[in-house]
Amino acid sequence: MKILLACEESQAVCKEFRKLGHEAYSCDILECSGGHPEWHLQEDLTEILKEKWDMIIAFPPCTYLTVTGNRWFNIEKYGDKARQRHKDRDEAIKFFMMIANAECEKIAIENPVGIMSTSWRRPNQVIQPYQFGHTARKATCLWLSGLPELVPTEVVEPKIITLKNGKTFSEDYMKGVKRSKAGEASNSRSKTYIGIAKAMASQWG
């Protein structure tokens, strides 16, 4: 199958589909970090989506779509900054829906819990890395069309850290926070878990 991994610079899922013999390509405005530039389309997704694809799996930016940043949208409190954030959110919704409405029979869109559930529709499935062999906890929504829900491949106990104030976080998440405080790129936290990448390729390929 000719498969597009949209908004994927890590090539995590692309490489898993390639291993199974598919003609898979990652697309991102960033250079790829997965070591296979020959499979990477470094350009705006808008044009690439117009080509004929048998399957599209997309990981669109979630900065303005997640519920975690909701307080920054308060115009009374944050004025012009909040107004700009509303504009950015509208753009992010448009981008997400451009993928959802692409002419392709099989589409999966991945994003954290966020406003698309109300702005468009509820996701078909919410998966966790700990269902696919990782000890991390990170609710990840999948909006599917023409594809079945992913079946967990290896359920493990998530490693959870409880802070003094009683809040709980995945150990993996805390490591990510430390990495970004140390100045590492934020996209190091948005890379697809290898267990999920393998499940997508083996179950949808």
Ligand X SMILES: C[S@@+](CC[C@H](N)C(=O)[O-])C[C@H]1O[C@@H](n2cnc3c(N)ncnc32)[C@H](O)[C@@H]1O
CA gap 106, 52 in Å, rounded: 12
Among 20, 30, 126, 161, binds ligand X (CB under 6 A): 30
Question: Which segments of the chain does DSSP mark as H helices, in order?
Answer: 12-19, 45-48, 75-100, 116-119, 171-181, 194-204
- Between 74 and 103, whose beta carbon lies closer to ligand X? 103
Of 2-10, 69-77, 122-130, 145-153: span binding ligand X (CB under 6 A): 2-10
CA gap 129, 176 in Å, rounded: 15
What minimum distance in Å lies between the beta carbon of 150 and ligand X?
15
Residue 185 in contact with ligand X, rule: CB under 6 A = no
Beta-carbon contacts of 111 under 8 Å, excluding residues fewer than 6 positions away, are 59, 60, 62, 65, 66, 96, 140, 141, 143
Confirm if 40 and 26 have CB atoms less than 8 A apart: yes
Residue 10 in contact with ligand X, rule: CB under 6 A = yes
What minimum distance in Å lies between the beta carbon of 58 and ligand X?
9
Count of H-run helices and E-run strands, the chain: 6, 9
Residue 92 in contact with ligand X, rule: CB under 6 A = no
- Between 45 and 141, whose beta carbon lies closer to ligand X? 45
φ, ψ for residue 80, nearest 5 deg: -60, -35
Residue 62 in contact with ligand X, rule: CB under 6 A = yes
Among 85, 99, 192, 195, binds ligand X (CB under 6 A): 192
What minimum distance in Å lies between the beta carbon of 8 and ligand X?
4
What minimum distance in Å lies between the beta carbon of 82 and ligand X?
22
Judged by the rule CB under 6 A, the positions of this chain that interact with ligand X are 7-10, 12, 27-30, 44-45, 59, 61-62, 187, 190-192
